[in-house]
Amino acid sequence: MAQEYLKFNDVTVKIPDRDGYGIQFATTSTSDSDRTQDLVMHNTPIGTVESYSLKWSNLTLSEASLILRQVVNKSSFKVHYLDVYSGKWKDGWFYASNFNITPIDLTAGEERIDSLSFNIVGVNPI
């Protein structure tokens, strides 16, 4: 089977760090979901949204710029990603938040980014 790659808007980007692809699910429930006095939870889920924390280390300035231009200030963007819930690579729509960028080398012509990280949150429920 051919190797698949993370893509933003059909643009292939560098593979995130080994510890740079974290997955979180958040379930939203109806407003009447609550615990009764006997502490039993009566929960009515509305749906679950997936989010991914992404991190890259030791990027060139052009690699970091390529990634950021695909996701910053976008109401949504297409991502080709490994979806653990479905167990396959697929395309989905996400938005980005919580950017962290740490430069390491500002030498002219040799600029490198020590770390770039941000979260992407699914627009649609899983």
pLDDT-based confidence at residue 22 (cuts at 50, 70, 90):
very high
Q: Report pLDDT for 104.
A: 80
Residue 31 has pLDDT above 90, yes or no: yes
Residue 87 — left, alpha, or beta (φ > 0 → left; ψ -120 to 50 → alpha)? left
What are the pLDDT digits (tens) for 87-120?
Answer: 999 999 999 999 999 988 778 888 899 999 999 9
User: Distances from the Cα of 44 to the Cαs of 28, 36, 38, 59, in angstroms?
Assistant: 9, 14, 18, 44
In Å, the largest CA–CA distance within the chain is: 66
Tell me the three state secondary structure of residue 68.
Answer: helix
Q: How far apart are CA 66 and CA 60, in angstroms?
A: 10
